[in-house]
Amino acid sequence: MSGPSISDRIGRLPRSGIRGIMELALELEDVVRLEIGDPDFATPAHIVDAAAEAARAGFTHYSPGVGLRSLRELIAEKVQGRNGLVCTPDEVAVTTGACGGLFSTFLALLDPGDEVLVPDPGWTTVVPMALAAGVTPVPYRLDRTADFALDPGTVEDRIGPRTRAILVNSPSNPTGAVATRAALEGVLELAGRHGLWVVSDECYEDIVFEGEHTSPAALGDRERVVSVFSFSKSYAMTGWRVGYVVAPPEVVRAIVKAQEPVVSSASTVSQKAAEGALLGPRDPIDAMCAAYRRRRDLALSLLDEEGVGYARPRGAFYVMVDVARAAEPSEAFALRLLRERHVAVVPGSAFGDGAEGMVRVSLAASEEAIRSGLERLATELERASGGERAAARS
C-alpha cells in the first residue's frame, strides 16, 4: 500500500526562480551575489532599539489580528502625509510583510476560479500565491520597448468574464519601472468600467530615482483599491516580516479574517519596531536610497561601457539586463554564469515570458560586487555570443 501524498494544489505550485538560484549559489564558494532582493544594510539602530525596548516592556504576546492600534494610527498618519490618502486606523490591517498582505487580499477578494491580472514581467511569488489561493493568474505584458512601462490598453485586452482584479506594482520588481500618474488613472478608469478591484503593490514606494511614486488610491475611486505596503525594503527590515494593507473597512475586516487561520497576527515585537521606523528619523532611509541611486548609476555606466543592453530602472533596486545575444534561454545563461563565473543573477524567465532573454541584477550589494559581477557577466555574454573580447579577458 502506498503512503499518503501531498496535495495536488501544493505539488503543482511553481518554485520561485529567485530561490532556486539562491540555493545553488549557497553551494558554491566566492559567489558574487546579485540575485536576492534583500537590502545589504542593517536595520537602522533606532528601529532595533524600539523593538528591544518594547520586548523588555512586555510586548511579547499576541496582538489583535488587525494589528496594534498604536501602529495603525501611525500608519494612517503616514499614508495621509506621504501617499495622499485620507485614512483612519479602521482602514489599516497590519500583515506579515507584503507577502502576507497580498495573499490575504487574494483570499479576501477572490473566489476559486476567479482571475487576477498580473504584470509580465512581475514578481515571482505572485503567480504561486494566486494559485495557492485557487485563483487563476492572467499575465498582461508590460511594454518592453519603453523600459517595461505600464500600458492600460494592454491591461484591458486581458480582461475576461472571470476577471475580478488587476494587480499593479510600482516601482516594479523586477523591472524598476515607475508607473506614471496617467497610466494608473487609465487602469482605475477601466477597472471602474469593468467592475474590478485594483490591488496595488507599493513595496518599493520610497526607492525612486526618476519620476515620482503615485498611490492609485490617491487618484480617486478608493472603494475599489487595496494598497499593499511593506517595511522590508524602505527600512531594511526584510527579516522582521511586517507590512500593512490600506483598504475600505469591510475589506480590512475580510483580510483580518483571512490571515487569522494562517498567522493569527503579525509579530508584536516587529510591530513595535515598525512604530520606531515611522517615528524615527528619515536620515538612514534617505542614505540607503541615495546608495541605491549611486549603484544604479554605476551599473548602467558599466553596462554602457561593455555594450550590454538593459531596461532603464527608475526605481526599486534592480536592473534587467539584456542577454538575448547569447542565443539561449535566460535560465541556461544564468546557470552557466553561476557555475563558470560565480555570479548569481535571476533568469528573466522567472518573472514571466515578457522577460525572456534578460536577467535580473540586484543592486542590494556593494559597489565592488556590482562592478565585479557585471564585468564577469559581460565577459560571459561576449563569449556566449562568439565575441573576441571574452577570449582576451578569460
Across the range 355-381, mean pLDDT stands at 98
Torsion of CA 40, 46, 47, 50, to 10 degrees: 150
Predicted confidence band of residue 9 (pLDDT cuts 50, 70, 90): confident
From residue 365, alpha-carbon distances to 143, 246, 283, 287 in Å are 28, 31, 20, 15
Is the Cα torsion angle 262, 268, 269, 273 positive or negative in sign?
positive
Residue 201 has pLDDT above 70, yes or no: yes
Q: pTM of the full predicted structure?
A: 0.94
> Hey, which bits of 98-144 come out as E strands?
115-120, 136-141
The predicted pLDDT at position 76 comes to 98
Domain range list for the chain: 8-42+283-384, 46-279
Across the range 303-332, mean pLDDT stands at 97
Residue 148 falls in which region: left (phi positive, over 0), alpha (psi -120 to 50) or beta: left
The predicted pLDDT at position 390 comes to 46
- Reported CATH class of domain 8-42+283-384: alpha beta
Q: What percent of the chain has pLDDT over 70?
A: 98
Among 367, 364, 381, 363, CA closest to 308: 381
Domains 8-42+283-384 and 46-279 share a fold: no
Among 310, 298, 312, CA closest to 345: 310
Residue 181 has pLDDT above 90, yes or no: yes
The predicted pLDDT at position 27 comes to 86
The predicted pLDDT at position 20 comes to 81
Mean pLDDT score of the chain = 95
β-strand pairing of 310-311 with 318-322: antiparallel
Residue 392 has pLDDT above 60, yes or no: no
Task: Tell me if 358 sits within 8 A of 352, measured CB to CB.
Answer: no
Cell numbers linked to 89 = 486606523
The predicted pLDDT at position 364 comes to 97
Residue 2 has pLDDT above 80, yes or no: no
Among 349, 289, 297, 283, CA closest to 121: 349
Predicted confidence band of residue 156 (pLDDT cuts 50, 70, 90): very high
Tell whether omega for the bond before 261 is within 30 degrees of 0, i.e. cis: no
- More confident position, 175 or 22: 175
Amino acid identity at 222 = R
The predicted pLDDT at position 125 comes to 93
The predicted pLDDT at position 7 comes to 87
Amino acid identity at 302 = L
Amino acid identity at 358 = M
Among 289, 323, 280, CA closest to 208: 289
The predicted pLDDT at position 236 comes to 98
Residue 393 has pLDDT above 80, yes or no: no
Task: Tell me if 341 sits within 8 A of 329, measured CB to CB.
Answer: no
Across the range 215-220, mean pLDDT stands at 95
Across the range 126-151, mean pLDDT stands at 96
Across the range 262-287, mean pLDDT stands at 97
Residue 394 has pLDDT above 50, yes or no: no
Across the range 208-226, mean pLDDT stands at 95
Across the range 240-267, mean pLDDT stands at 97
Across the range 52-74, mean pLDDT stands at 98
Task: Tell me if 216 sits within 8 A of 198, measured CB to CB.
Answer: yes
The predicted pLDDT at position 1 comes to 54
The predicted pLDDT at position 391 comes to 44
Predicted confidence band of residue 389 (pLDDT cuts 50, 70, 90): low
Q: What is the DSSP letter of 95?
A: E
- Reported CATH class of domain 46-279: alpha beta
Task: Tell me if 71 sits within 8 A of 51, measured CB to CB.
Answer: no
Task: Tell me if 225 sits within 8 A of 188, measured CB to CB.
Answer: yes
The predicted pLDDT at position 13 comes to 83
C-alpha angle 383/384/390, rounded to 5°? 10
Question: Alpha-carbon distance 26 to 42, whole Å?
Answer: 21
φ/ψ of residue 365, rounded to 5? -155, 165
Predicted confidence band of residue 276 (pLDDT cuts 50, 70, 90): very high
